[in-house]
Amino acid sequence: MDTNRKLKGIVAAVAVILCTALLGGFLGGGDMMYHLKNRDSIGPLTRDDIGYIQAEAPEATSKDGTINADDWAAVYPEISFSMGENSKNDYVLDYLEQDTYLKNIYEGYGFAIDYGSARGHEYCLEDVAATGRPHPYANCLTCKTPNFTKLVNDIGVGAYTMDFNEVLAMMEEDVSCYTCHGNEAGDEGKLVVTHSYVTKALGDSIGEIDPSVLSCGQCHIEYYFTPSDKETMMPYHDVASMSPDAILAYYDAMGFYDWICPSTGVKMLKAQHPEMETFLSGKHAGLLNCADCHMEIVQEEDGTIYYSHYIASPMDSDVLLSNCAVCHGDTDMVTMVHRIQDRITARETEVGTKLSAFKDALAAVVAEGKFSDEQLEEVRTIYRKAQWYFDFCYVENSEGAHNTDLANYCLDTSEALIDEGMKLLTELQSH
């Protein structure tokens, strides 16, 4: 297996935003702290070994009033240090060089110009500033920094249409404590949904989602910018409507598209990174949450036990792999997961190449100028759908490990649509 393949299931965008989330408990619950308890028992560490303490919030030093990681370092030194370890995840893979068909598929959109893998959370602001994709509005900062989240919470949706560079200059910190805890990280580790669009989209359904998953899912989701005010928004209102089918129907109903492909005239959708949606529709969601698989429980020499905030791949951690053993026993999980990822990667390449050929065939027919928009509409609709299902799998950062069945469903659906569209093009040209 190419272990650098999109860094999926390995490091970085591993279905978590800085998951300072705690295992088991309820949003806002007092039993979700992550620090300090001496352990007398033997055997693997579990969530039950972690004691929860109350700590007073330090004075905020950020200009906007967010209590940042440096402010909390004196209270939680181990956790602060482990957060800084995310800077180790600094490798960037150029997807456009690796999967050359992507430039063709994304023609006319920023992802055809610059599309690289995500690095650790320590690089969020640096990378969004350096990207070659155009970003006139500050909404591109939505999940990159708690300072922008605080700005939205302070002034409302008007923050989204502010000038990107103007707002970037105001940002002080990459993804950090405020992202998952607000300014209440001393309140026994209470989790807080800081992103307003999450509560707006989910409403009362927010309680359906494990707090740890929701903490990560504030950012590791499919989202869009509303046409009216460019607000970041989620395209569903509950867990049941998080499937790629339901999300596509949501976009179709509102006539939404991200861009129009120049050569085909198709009103295109660009999936983002639907980790939460993919995970919640799979078999693991009832057994595990993001922290189970990506945050080690660590014991220091002095007995302190806490959740490491270094976002790790379970494939690189015997501690995290021990959670798999509960169901999988002595299965070689590394080999099994890599086999899944290899298989999905191969299918992505196969289907992506076919999608690119379908796009070229449609573009050639459009260029002939023999057919009206009405005659081409059915094929364009099929292409839009085929692209959507392919992209939903491609951009999800586990390469099939989070939900193998859904990955296969998306790729199979995309391929079936491609075949249908190519047949229609042939029939159209034969008349």
Residue 3: pLDDT above 70? no
Chain CA centroid to CA 24, Å: 21
Instruction: Kindly write down the DSSP assignment for every residue of 363-429, as one continuous string.
Output: HHHHHHT-S-HHHHHHHHHHHHHHHHHHHHHHTSTTTTSS-HHHHHHHHHHHHHHHHHHHHHHHHHH
Residue 29: pLDDT above 70? no
C-alpha distances (whole Å) from 107 to each of 167, 268, 352 are 29, 10, 14
Q: How does DSSP classify residue 107?
A: T
Rounded Cα distance, 129 and 132, in Å: 9
Regarding predicted confidence, which is higher, 211 or 25? 211
Q: Residue 311: which residues within 8 A CB-CB, separation 6 or more?
A: 11, 12, 14, 16, 18, 19, 86, 89, 120, 121, 294, 295
Q: What pLDDT shows up at residue 304?
A: 85
pLDDT per residue as tens digits for the range 305-358: 888 999 999 999 998 988 888 889 889 999 999 999 999 999 999 999 999 999
Regarding predicted confidence, which is higher, 278 or 90? 278
Question: Which residue has 């460019």 as its token pair?
Answer: 230
Read off the amino acid at residue 350. Answer: E
Rounded Cα distance, 118 and 261, in Å: 25
Nearest CA to 402 out of 272, 238, 284 is that of 284
Write down the mean pLDDT value for the chain.
88
pTM: 0.89
249: confidence class by pLDDT, cuts 50, 70, 90: very high
Q: What pLDDT shows up at residue 188?
A: 67
Instruction: Give the helix ranges, DSSP H, for 131-272.
Output: 146-155, 164-168, 177-181, 196-202, 211-217, 244-254
Q: Computed over its alpha carbons, how large is the radius of gyration of the chain?
A: 22
56: confidence class by pLDDT, cuts 50, 70, 90: confident
Mean pLDDT of the 219-228 span: 96
Q: What pLDDT shows up at residue 47?
A: 73
Residue 25: pLDDT above 70? no
Share of the chain above pLDDT 90, in %: 69
Burial 50-71 (b: 16+ CB within 10 A, else e): bebeebeebeeebebebbbbeb
Q: What pLDDT shows up at residue 380?
A: 98
pLDDT per residue as tens digits for the range 122-140: 999 999 999 989 889 999 9
pLDDT per residue as tens digits for the range 127-183: 999 998 988 999 999 999 999 999 999 999 999 999 999 999 999 999 999 999 898
Share of the chain above pLDDT 70, in %: 89
Question: Which residue has 């992550």 as its token pair?
Answer: 34
Residue 378: pLDDT above 80? yes
Rounded Cα distance, 84 and 79, in Å: 9
| Residue 358 contacts residue 386 (beta carbons within 8 Å) | yes
Nearest CA to 39 out of 54, 24, 29, 49 is that of 49
Question: With left for phi above 0 and alpha for psi between -120 and 50, is residue 2 left, alpha or beta?
Answer: beta
Residue 175 tokens read as 């993804």
Nearest CA to 177 out of 131, 231, 225, 121 is that of 121
Residue 8: pLDDT above 60? no
pLDDT per residue as tens digits for the range 64-114: 999 999 999 988 899 899 999 988 888 889 999 999 999 999 999 999 999
Residue 329 tokens read as 């026993």
Q: What pLDDT shows up at residue 43?
A: 59
First to last CA, the chain: 47
Sequence-distant contacts of 314-319: CB under 8 A, at least 24 apart:
315/9, 315/10, 316/10, 316/11, 319/44, 319/45
Residue 299: pLDDT above 50? yes
| Residue 240 contacts residue 199 (beta carbons within 8 Å) | no
Q: What pLDDT shows up at residue 233?
A: 98
206: confidence class by pLDDT, cuts 50, 70, 90: very high
Q: Residue 224: which residues within 8 A CB-CB, separation 6 or more?
A: 232, 233, 235, 251, 256, 258
C-alpha distances (whole Å) from 141 to each of 144, 167, 358 are 5, 9, 34
Mean pLDDT of the 184-196 span: 80
Residues written for the chain = 431
Residue 344 tokens read as 């999905």
